[in-house]
Amino acid sequence: MTALDYQLVDADNHCFEPRDSFTRYIDPAFRDQAVHQEIRDDGKEWIMIGEQPLTFLPGHDLYDNVGKPGSLKEKLRRMKKTGEAEEFSIFEPVRPEYLDRDLRLDVMDAQNVEACLMFPSVGVTVEHFMATPEQCYANFHAFNRWIQDDWGFAYQNRIFAPPMMSLWDLDAAVAELEWVLGEGAKVIALRPGPQYGRSPSDPYFDPFWARLNEAGGSVAFHLTESGYNEMVSPYWGYEPNPSNFTMSAWQWTNCYGDRPIMETLSALVFENFFGRFPNITAVSVENGAEWAPYLVRLMNKMRGMGRNGPWIGGRLPARPTEIFAQHVLVTPYP
Query: Which residue from 97, 102, 44 is spatially nearest to 69, judged by alpha carbons?
Result: 97
Mean pLDDT value across the chain: 94
Predicted pLDDT at 106: 98
Q: What mean pLDDT comes out for the span 171-200?
A: 98
- Higher pLDDT residue, 8 or 42? 8
Domains of the chain: 8-31+95-330 (3.20.20.140)
Write down the pLDDT at residue 84.
62
pLDDT of 247: 95
Query: Residue 66's pLDDT is what?
Result: 87
Residue 85 has pLDDT above 60, yes or no: no
Distance CA 98, CA 189 (A): 19
Lowest-confidence pick of 41-45, 99-103, 127-131, 167-171: 41-45
Contact 289, 330 (CB under 8 A): yes
Give the pLDDT mean for 183-201.
98
Model confidence band, residue 83 (pLDDT cutoffs 50, 70, 90): low
| Best CA proximity match to 263, nearest among 233, 230, 239, 287 | 287
Q: Strand order in 8-14's β-sheet?
A: 8-14, 113-119, 159-160
**85-94, 124-133, 171-180, 199-208: which range is least confident on average?**
85-94
3-state secondary structure of 285: strand
**What's the pLDDT at 71?**
78
Q: Where are the alpha helices (DSSP H) in the chain?
A: 72-82, 101-110, 133-150, 170-182, 206-215, 228-232, 249-254, 258-270, 273-276, 291-305, 320-327
Give the separation between CA 106 and CA 120, rounded to whole angstroms: 19
1 pLDDT more than 70: no
Cα–Cα distance list, 261 to 239, 273, 291, 326 (Å): 21, 15, 9, 17
- Quote the pLDDT of residue 89: 59
What residues does 329 pair with on adjacent strands? 283
Q: What is the phi/psi pair of residue 98, to 5°? A: -75, -15
pLDDT digits (tens, 9 = 90+) for 15-64: 999 999 999 999 999 999 999 999 998 888 999 999 999 999 987 778 99
User: Does pLDDT of 112 surpass 70?
Assistant: yes
Q: Is the pLDDT of residue 208 over 70?
A: yes
* Residues 126-138 pLDDT 10s: 999 999 999 999 9
**Average confidence (pLDDT) over 160-185:** 99
CB 267 within 8 Å of CB 307: no
